Structures are given as structure tokens and as C-alpha cells.
Amino acid sequence: MRLSSDHYKKARIARDPRFDGKFFVAVKTTGIYCRPICPATTPREENVTYFLTAMEAANAGYRPCLRCRPDSAPGSPAWRGVNATVDRAIKLIDEGALDNGSVGDLAARLGVSSRYVRQLFKKHLGFSPKAYALYQKCLFAKKLLHQTDLPITHVALASGFNSIRRFNDCFQSQLNLTPSQIRKSGVGTLNNIDLQLFYRPPYNWPFVSRFFSVRMIPDLEWCNEQHYGRTFEWQGTKGRFTAEHMEHKNRFQVSIELESARHLKAIVNNIRRLLDLDVDIQSVDHNLQPHFNGLNYREGLRIPGIWDAFEAGVRAILGQQVSIQAARTHCTKLVHTLGETLDGKIVFPTPKVLMNSELDFLNMPMARKNTLKDFAQYFVTHRVTDQPDHWQQLKGIGPWTTDYAKLRGLSDPDIYLGTDLGIKKATDQIQSAVKPDKASPWRSYLTLQLWNQLS
């Protein structure tokens, strides 16, 4: 939904960080588009044009500002929620679905025709799936050129390009810049990468860090008042990251160590999801607060994510009908027994490894062990793993398990865990009745507010 020109003007002049990434400012006299927080001299209103997305500005012939770096803005929510298929398609593209696949392959994963996918993108975004994927690659490459000293050839590879010639051509056509105009080739390595990931304030880091700490699996994760980090695996690439919260700069300083940078863009997008950096939290709080005055409401709560749906599902199964501490103990045993070591840390075990284990080391009913094994088998045999509702065909998996996985493994914003024991305790403490339907489409954030009542 577009704001009025007056709202855009006020946000631009105030350089309000809450609007960072919600719209972009193109300056007619310079041919450049900027973030609304750009520190450059404020242009006159008659010389600017407003765009909801960076891609719209680029399609209109503007090139990105080298000072405020529009590629660093928090993800724009402009197209979110307009269509469930579009939303899921964007998620899959951000994960690299079109790097080595076709629009037809993407459509098959979505269960629709390729023609229908193209129609949806044209209707809701104004450009094709391929155009969206290509522009996101270029913006990510620009971020790497600005923030790292990786050689340009390595930047091209990490951004999803298969050749340096293709990379140079696309960079020029999409951004009206050449890689060498951003910076000359560096002498960095692929193994250690530092990036700045921005968000729109407020961000309640004390809540998020406390949530992670209580559930932290030693050697898989590490967390304190300033940092959260963990190991991960993404399509065969293992690594780890540490994110340091920079409260007064509205960003995280993220250090990533990787075996290979080939899937770096998808990995960075997943870190953004895990830390919930792209939500329009101001809109969430504005919508929730008037309806839930009985809560000890805390602004800026974010969804503390889990790396992927498989790990979220395993943690949910281990957490069925037990306390948080008991679930953490079970998960720690599982990770330390079956996980692969990575430079002194441990990576969460793969579905295949879990499927082939007898799980004798876990002190729990055999039925739950069988559920874990069946769940792992499901992930080994099914290509599509981001639809947890399908898991309920497995014995021992019900709505709470799938909803928990959607909340933390997929960061679904509209999940209310009404049957959760903690949620029941929290609602008992509140004098007025909680009506979760009023919180839609932000019921996940209502769930977090209720969990926060127990802190």
C-alpha cells in the first residue's frame, strides 16, 4: 500500500530509520536513487520521485547511490502478503531456486503452471521471476563489493553468477554501474566474510537473546547479551556465523565462515530470516497494541528463528509434552551424538544420519523415537520440505508440532500457539480475554508477547 506524497516527504526529510527499505527516493537531477535515511544533502521535493522498491527505481533508469547503498536497506515489505503463491515464490527464489533451475522448475515446486507464475509476478510486482532474481543477485553483489574485500571473480560466484562476463554485463544493465566503479578487486578469502545487516527499529534484542539463550544447544549455538551465533549447513555447504547487535546503528555486524561461498546469498537471506530483520515491526506493534491492553506489551519483539524447517521439526518433536529444559537436554544429546564436528563446533545432524540411528541414547518413549525416524525419512524422500502441514500424516505429529516449526523454522508471521503450555499459563495471568483472531496476520507476534509475560 502506497503512502501519500506528504508522508514520503516527511519521512525523507526526517531521515526516519523506521521507513528504511519501505520506499526509495529517486533524484531527477542526478539520476540516483537513495534510501530515505541517506546522509547526502536533502534534494528539493520537486526534484524527487518515490518508488516502493529499488527495482522499480532501477527500471525507471536510476542507478543506486554509492553513499547510502540501497542494497543494504532492510527488505521491503511492499509485496508481502499480496498473494500466498507470490510470497512463497519469492522465498524460494531468495533461497536460490532460479540459480540453477528454470521458472518451470519453480512452478512445479509451487504446484502451478509456469505461465501462472509469470502472470502473478507481472500483476503483483510488475516484473518477471527471472528479472526479480537477477536484480537481487546484482544488489547482493553490490553489498559484497562494498562490505568485503573479496576479489570480483569471487563476488560473482558468491552472488550466483556462473561467469565473470555474465556478471559484468548484468551489473551494468541492472545498476548502470560496473563492478570496478564500486571498488577495485581485493585480496580477501572466501572463508571469512563480514557484513552489515540492517533492520527497521525498534528491535527488542534483550527478549530475542534471552529466548535464544534459554534454548541454546552448546557447541551448535552461542549467545550472550551482545551476540548470537551458530553452525549451519546449506545444500552441502557447512559454516557458522556470529551476529553482533549494534543497537544505536540499527544493524547487526555479522561474521560468516564458510567452506564455500557459492550459496552465500541464500545463507545471508536465511540469517536475516532467523533474526527477523525484514518485518515491518512498527506496523505489527501498531496493529496489536490497541486490541491487547491487558498485556504487559513490549515493542519490537522479533521471531527468534531456527535454521531450517527440519531442525525446527526435530526440536518440536523433542519438546512435545516436556519442559523447555527437558527438550533442550534431549536436543543436546542428539546433536552431540549424531552431529558432525566443524572446527570445534557441531553441525545439526542431517535427516539421513538421524533416519539411520536407533536413537538408543535418548531417554524417551519408543513411540517418540519412531516419530523422529519417520520424520527424518520424510525429509529424505520428499523434495518439498517447507510445508509442515503435510507432516501431520506421520504418526506422532500434530498441529502444535507443525505450528511450532512454521513459527520458528519458516518464520511464519501468523501462527498462534494456543495449545502451548506456556501460552495457556500466560493467558491465565491476563485479566481480559485474549482474542487471537484480532491479531491476524501477526498472530506469531501475539504468541511472542504472551511468552514474554512469563519472563
| Per-residue pLDDT tens over the stretch 392-444 | 999 999 999 999 999 999 999 999 998 888 888 888 877 667 788 888 888 99
Reported pTM: 0.85
pLDDT higher than threshold 50 for residue 273: yes
Do residues 365 and 330 make contact, with C-beta atoms less than 8 angstroms apart? no
Task: Quick: pLDDT tens for 96-108.
Answer: 888 878 999 999 8
Residues of the chain with CATH 3.40.10.10: 5-70
Neighbours of 408 (CB within 10 A): 25
Do residues 305 and 409 make contact, with C-beta atoms less than 8 angstroms apart? yes
Buried b (16+ CB within 10 A) or exposed e, 410-438: bbbbbbbbbebeebeebbeeeeeebebee
Q: 112 burial class (0-12, 13-18, 19+ CB within 10 angstroms)?
A: middle
Percent of the chain exceeding pLDDT 90 equals 49
Check whether domain 84-182 has CATH 3.40.50.2000, yes or no: no
Pick from 146, 266, 138, 249: nearest CA to 195: 146
Considering only 80-84, 207-211, 250-254, which range has the smallest mean pLDDT?
A: 80-84
Percent of the chain exceeding pLDDT 70 equals 93
Cα separation of 118 and 104, whole Å? 10
The per-residue pLDDT for 154 is 87
CATH of 5-70, one of 1.10.10.10, 3.40.640.10, 3.40.30.10, 3.40.10.10: 3.40.10.10
Pick from 66, 29, 62: nearest CA to 48: 29
Considering only 13-22, 72-81, 101-110, 357-366, which range has the smallest mean pLDDT?
A: 72-81
Residues of the chain with CATH 1.10.10.60: 84-182
Cα separation of 36 and 368, whole Å? 52
Peptide bond preceding 202 in cis form (omega within 30 of 0): yes
Q: Give the mean model confidence (pLDDT) for residues 159-183.
A: 85
| Level-2 CATH architecture, domain 192-261 | 2-Layer Sandwich (3.30)
pLDDT higher than threshold 80 for residue 141: yes
Mean pLDDT of the chain: 88
The per-residue pLDDT for 4 is 59
The per-residue pLDDT for 203 is 96
Give the ranges where 342-438 is alpha helix by DSSP (H): 351-355, 366-381, 399-409, 421-429
Residues of the chain with CATH 1.10.340.30: 309-453
Neighbours of 158 (CB within 10 A): 25
What would the grid cell of residue 379 be?
525429509
Residues of the chain with CATH 3.30.310.20: 192-261
Q: 6 burial class (0-12, 13-18, 19+ CB within 10 angstroms)?
A: exposed
Nearby residues of 271 by Cβ (< 8 Å), 6 or more positions away? 197, 241, 243, 254, 256
pLDDT higher than threshold 60 for residue 322: yes
Give the strand order in the sheet containing 63-64.
Answer: 48-51, 24-27, 32-34, 63-64
Specify which residues 194 forms β-bridges with: 255
Peptide bond preceding 351 in cis form (omega within 30 of 0): no
The per-residue pLDDT for 58 is 87
What is the CATH T-level fold of the domain 309-453, as seen in this structure? Answer: Endonuclease III; domain 1 (1.10.340)
Could you give the C-alpha distances from 240 to 71, 87, 256, in angstroms and in order? 23, 27, 6
- Which secondary structure element, helix H or strand E, spans residue 64, and what is its range? strand 63-64
Do residues 349 and 334 make contact, with C-beta atoms less than 8 angstroms apart? yes
